Amino acid sequence: MAQLIMRGAIWYARIQKDGKDIWRSTHTGDRRKAEAALRRTVADVQGNTTVADALASLLAAFNREETTATGDVQKLATLTAQRQRAAAALLAGTGERITLEEAWAKWEQASKKREPCEGTLWAYRAAWQRFKKWAEGAGLKHLHEVTPARAEQYAADLNQESFASRTRAGHLKFLRSLFAKLRLQAGLVENPWRDVVVPEIQQESRRAFTADELQKVFTQAQDALRNMMLVGLLTGLRLGDVAQLRWSSVDLKLKQLDVMPGKTSYKKKHIQIPITPALEHMLTTQKRLGRKGAFVFPAEAKLYERNRTGLSRKFQALFKAAGITTTEKIKGRKHAVVKVGFHSLRHSFVSLCAAAGTPQHVLLSLVGHGSPEMTEIYTHTDMEQKRKAVAGLPGLLPSS
């Protein structure tokens, strides 16, 4: 026997089982809602509760407690955490239990709006390996065990390492994107990185070389490192693009390079750069010496592919040997910041072209600026304008 009895303003369900009365509040004064609650209570007592009824009861309990906890910040936070744990438990069977060990491979296999270039992929892999090591040290084994609280803890740990703001921001953004990509597959309730604050990027760019420094470093440099620096200074190309420069990109008849910069390779955009007389002499000599293979600098291309940091350090050692201070200590940072590196040649190229009066749109076209707003301007930059720009580069290189 089951019936509703009004007590005060609330309906109560009275159910008889095994000769005993069972009373339960319906928590409502609405007759129709009370009748629905009565049916759920009867089913519960008889052991016939449906999934829909059980879920409705759970949601009603959460809503009721949250209404009575209005203004109690701590209790509301506890209820929110309980909701998340309940949802995680419900979803545990709807997705894969993806382990931290499996996550990287699954992310690589997932479809993406655009595939990252090799350099970006290398940075992503390093970020994932650091997080994975930290998470395993915290006793975590699966993606669904990474809660928002754990994500905040990791962000704090990352901050303690005094990484550059750009590194930390990129690191956290990648973790957010990886969990977003695997969220449904892993049955995650939410992306735990959603509310983690990404730091604002503080610009800490390389500086250009002075004329005196260029003289010293070119005098010090030899063989492939010297030739790579020559390419960097006279084209503005980044280290990766110089190290992986292919002979198929070199046209000595037209005296120009046709390169697709690695940093913006997802746009499939090529840039054309004039070959100056000094650069032509070096490339012709390389050809005459019978350099084999696809790359202008085969050994360095192989090293860059295997250990790009190792190649960068070779140049750092060269600059230091030339008496150049390459780093600067910044307050609040554990490690000194690199101010002079191979990328400084790109800054020098830009500075020298600007000093020679190169129009901005020509300069942007030469260095392959990534801004999509400039695409229309680039289209109208012809090779003659570029030749005039690089012809204005002063003769800073020592004779060899």
Mean pLDDT across 376-388: 54
In tens, the pLDDT along 319-334 reads: 898 888 877 776 655 6
Of the candidates 309, 358, 249, 17, the one whose C-alpha atom is nearest the C-alpha of residue 2 is 17
Determine the pLDDT at residue 400.
45
In Å, what is the CA distance from 19 to each residue of 1, 16, 22, 129, 290?
Answer: 10, 6, 10, 63, 102
Residues near 374 by Cβ (< 8 Å), separated by ≥ 6?
Answer: 361, 364
Fold of 211-391: hpI Integrase; Chain A (1.10.443)
CB 334 within 8 Å of CB 161:
yes
User: Which of 197-201, 278-282, 385-389 shows the lowest per-residue confidence on average (mean pLDDT)?
Assistant: 385-389
Determine the pLDDT at residue 197.
87
In tens, the pLDDT along 255-292 reads: 899 988 887 776 778 888 888 888 888 899 888 876 66
In Å, what is the CA distance from 397 to each residue of 226, 287, 336?
Answer: 11, 21, 30
What residue type is 102 in one-letter code? Answer: E
How far the first Cα of the chain sits from its last, in Å, is: 105
Determine the pLDDT at residue 122.
85
CB 233 within 8 Å of CB 213:
no
Alpha-carbon torsion (242, 166, 160, 337), positive or negative: positive
Q: Kind of pairing, strands 327-328 and 10-17?
A: unpaired
Determine the pLDDT at residue 290.
65
CB 141 within 8 Å of CB 171:
no
Sheet containing 10-17, strands listed edge to edge, beginning at the edge strand earlier in sequence? 2-7, 10-17, 20-25
Determine the pLDDT at residue 381.
46
